[in-house]
Amino acid sequence: MSENRWISDLHWRREGQQTRSERTQTRLIDAAEALILEKGTEATSIADIAARAGSSVGTVYHHFKDKKALFLALFARMTERYKALNAAGADPARWQGATIRDLMRGYLELTMAAYRENAAAKAAVSVVMADFPELARHYAEIQAETRKALYALMHERRAEVGHPDPDAALAFTIDTLAALMRARMDPAQRAASLQDLSDEDFVAQVLSLAATYLRLKP
């Protein structure tokens, strides 16, 4: 897929400089992430995590009160990255001169990139959320904030929309984009009809569908 000038500088992972303690915590969280995918939360023990990270059990407990605290740290790491990416992507200054089509393309391409760059973390966090419903609710709130930010950007350009009820049409379109993205990227919801499409074709088909429904003006 060709580079999108609106989002070319946005990336999921931004580790930056870390202290020795932070690097240790990162190794432990990475180990927990891998083990959760292999064994699930219940079968993953502190000893397993320590061994995978090349640390001692004492080191794990030095950084985390218990296994749940480590799992919560895994969730927090992923959601903090997600929120930072969303905040950068929702900055109105970034989209000066962009059309609704540009916004929708940016949302689709950035979401696909985020899924792929962080697939293991997302899968592990999904397992953790299954055991801790309060985390699932929080994650849903973050996703809702993403859609809300996209709506605000698109609403500023509602003059481009020919649909008789542009406000409702924009909201419906955003929900449709999110649903189509889940159907393409989420292994649990993957739609067979979308699997043979390249990323370029998927984006083109979705944009054509959305533009027709919104009756976007040239």
Q: For 82-112, what is each residue's pLDDT tens digit?
A: 888 888 888 999 999 999 999 999 999 988 8
At 12 the pLDDT is 46
- Once rounded to an integer, what is the mean pLDDT over residues 129-152? 88
Separation of alpha carbons 194 and 185, rounded Å: 9
Instruction: Break the chain into its structural domains and give their ranges.
Output: 17-64, 72-214
- CA distances (Å), origin 78, targets 119, 141, 142, 171: 11, 14, 11, 26
pTM assigned to the model:
0.79
Q: What is the mean pLDDT of residues 171-195?
A: 82
Confidence of residue 16 (pLDDT cuts 50, 70, 90): low
- The letter for the amino acid at 187 is P
- Give the Cα separation of 73 and 61 in Å (integer): 13
Q: Sign of dihedral through CA atoms 77, 79, 81, 83?
A: negative
Q: How far is the C-alpha of 29 from the C-alpha of 15, rounded, in Å? A: 14
State how far the Cα of 160 lies from the Cα of 153, in Å rounded to an integer.
12
Weakest-pLDDT range from 83-87, 171-175, 198-202: 83-87
Residue 33, both tokens: 């992430």
The answer to whether domain 17-64 has CATH 3.40.50.720 is no
| CA distance linking residue 122 with residue 202, whole number of Å | 22
